[in-house]
Structure 1
Amino acid sequence: MKIGIIGAGNMGGAIARGLAADPDFCTADITVCSPNNHGELDALKADYPDINVDTDNEKAILGTDIIILAVKPWLVYDVMDPLSPKIQWEKQMLVSVAAGITLSQLEDLSLCTPPAVFRVMPNTAIAVRKSMTFICSIGASDEQIKSVSDIFSRLGSVMVIDENQMTACMALASCGIAYAMRYVRAASEGGVELGVKADLAKDIVLQTMQGAAALLQATGAHPEAEIDKVTTPGGITIKGLNAMEAHGFTTSVIEGLKASK
């Protein structure tokens, strides 16, 4: 499966690096193009000599199976206008990771009805191959959906969803990763106030969050069921939870997610 990536910024670069770092993926099958970001292209080539880089976006569509559009949303039309007539829409799949660009807008860029176009939203953990990525599509066969899912599953977890769920799912994962990091910061600061050194406090919080996530994933339990196991009557955990709720912890999280939608 040959991949062409248009854009070498944070997202395009992270996708390229994640795939190139996968020992089961052929680095020579990756082409990354960017007319402007020469520094990142040079860095990619230095780190992965077999990767193909070019300053001509057209090279990303020549002989590739999947074209990943990883540019800023306001650049999508300018970038795609000269490329659309050269894409083999009957054979090639277009995958956009440009936030806010809908499937309908992507379909309008094509010269084929219906084209196989995908709207894909990873989060920033894609940089360490731990992304929560959402995929929706139009005009794609089951085989094509599997091909795109297989690519992004190398970079983390994947969910195929309906487009009408994309905004809510983005709030949970793309915005949610920032909310999780804000909790890490707050808990670390609390640790410092309790007398723990800052770096140690952060390490403790990070490991605790990883453990909590792993526990819920392994057991499939409801979070409250696991909370009940560590809240003894009159104990310090229930006192801490009640203090957080008194200051609007759950409400703040829910309202933050709703505001992000």
Structure 2
Amino acid sequence: MKNLKIAIIGCGNLGLSIVNGLLETEGFEAKNLMVTKRHPENLSHLQSLGVTVTADNKSAAKAADLVILGVKPYNIPHILKEIAPVVSPDKQTIISLATGVTLEEMYQHLPSTTALYRAMPNIAADIQESITCICGQNSTPENEDIIKALFNSIGISIIIEEHLMEAATVLGACGIAYVLRFMRAMTQGGIQIGFDAKTANTIVNQTVKGAAELLIKKGIHPEAAIDKVTTPKGCTIVGLNEMEHHGFSAAMVKGVLASYEKIEK
């Protein structure tokens, strides 16, 4: 991936997270990265880092090996029509980050032999801790390795079937917000029992990080870890039971389903 030229068309919040992750990747050179935005002055700070910033989608796509579409779903057809004359199935691979826009819909504007992917990272790409779910068509082993290397540079990536992409969006991308809302509530509880906001936040942040790392490194189910801290008649089980009494798990599941149903409409 060292000499791969990458263009991010419509570099919004998620695109910028990918940019930041790539720039932190050892061996990746900023000169190989191009980003576009309708108002490029909003990304002018990237120019001093060596990134090409422009409003010209066609020139960026033409010069790139990988073209990442970071625009809103409703803009995908317009952007594909714009760049289609300058992209070739022999040169460019197209990657869409748009929620809900299928490969079939995008092929309406591209040659049928184009290597085309959908990818759903999350904003933790900013610190190289994203989970990115990927699906594609006209994929070769070499292409797939390149795409995975790109998204592994900003975290970890997994290949899934396309029919699961909307579910991946909810669990991986929306999921960041769910976890952050939980952390905010936990911090508020910490303040109520006596901590100042900064101390409560520090404790909560490390506790959540530790919980995630415990599951990842030990390869265990959450309930197995919970069992280790729920002693008989202890304060942990009392707190958990009170949360469940007020619908904690049910509310989380309902939130996930509500987000999924919104995408599916």
TM-score higher than 0.5 here? yes
Letter paired with 1:68: I
Task: Give the equivalent residue in structure 1 for 2:194.
Answer: 195
Partner-residue secondary structure (3-state), 1:117? strand
Q: Please give the residue correspondences for 1:1-80 in structure 2 after superposition, counting only pairs within 5 Å.
A: 1-40=4-43, 42-46=44-48, 48=49, 50-80=50-80
Shift of 1:172: 1.2
Structure 1 residues 22-50: Cα deviation after superposition (integer angstroms, max 9, x where no partner): 2321221111122323221x11112x1x2
Letter paired with 1:26: E
Q: What is the CA–CA distance in structure 2 between the aligned matches of 1:242 and 1:178, rounded to whole Å?
A: 24
Partner-residue secondary structure (3-state), 1:32? strand
Q: Please give the residue correspondences for 1:151-230 in structure 2 after superposition, counting only pairs within 5 Å.
A: 151-230=150-229
Letter paired with 1:18: G
Letter paired with 1:96: S
Structure 1 residues 119-174: Cα deviation after superposition (integer angstroms, max 9, x where no partner): 11111212222111111101111211110110011111111110111111221111
Gaps of 5+ in 1: none
Partner-residue secondary structure (3-state), 2:108? helix
Q: What is the CA–CA distance in structure 2 between the aligned matches of 1:69 and 1:170, rounded to whole Å?
A: 16
Q: What is the CA–CA distance in structure 1 between the aligned matches of 2:85 and 2:58, rounded to whole Å?
A: 11
**Is 2:120–2:168's contact at 8 Å kept on the other side of the alignment?**
no
Where relative contact order (Cα < 8 A, 6+ residues apart) is larger, the structure is 2
| TM-score (ref. length: structure 1) | 0.94
Shift of 1:191: 0.6
| Runs of 4+ residues over 4 Å off in structure 1 | none
Instruction: Indicate how the Cα distance of structure 1 residues 179 and 35 shifts in structure 2: closer, same or farther if over 3 A, else same.
Output: closer
Letter paired with 1:25: F
Q: What is the CA–CA distance in structure 2 between the aligned matches of 1:36 and 1:76, rounded to whole Å?
A: 18
Task: Give the equivalent residue in structure 2 for 1:149.
Answer: 148
Letter paired with 2:23: A
Gaps of 5+ in 2: 261-265
Q: Please give the residue correspondences for 1:64-143 in structure 2 after superposition, counting only pairs within 5 Å.
A: 64-110=64-110, 112-143=111-142
Aligned-residue RMSD, C-alpha:
1.3
Q: What is the CA–CA distance in structure 2 between the aligned matches of 1:136 and 1:11, rounded to whole Å?
A: 18
**Is 1:38–1:55's contact at 8 Å kept on the other side of the alignment?**
no
Letter paired with 2:166: T
Task: Give the equivalent residue in structure 1 for 2:263.
Answer: none
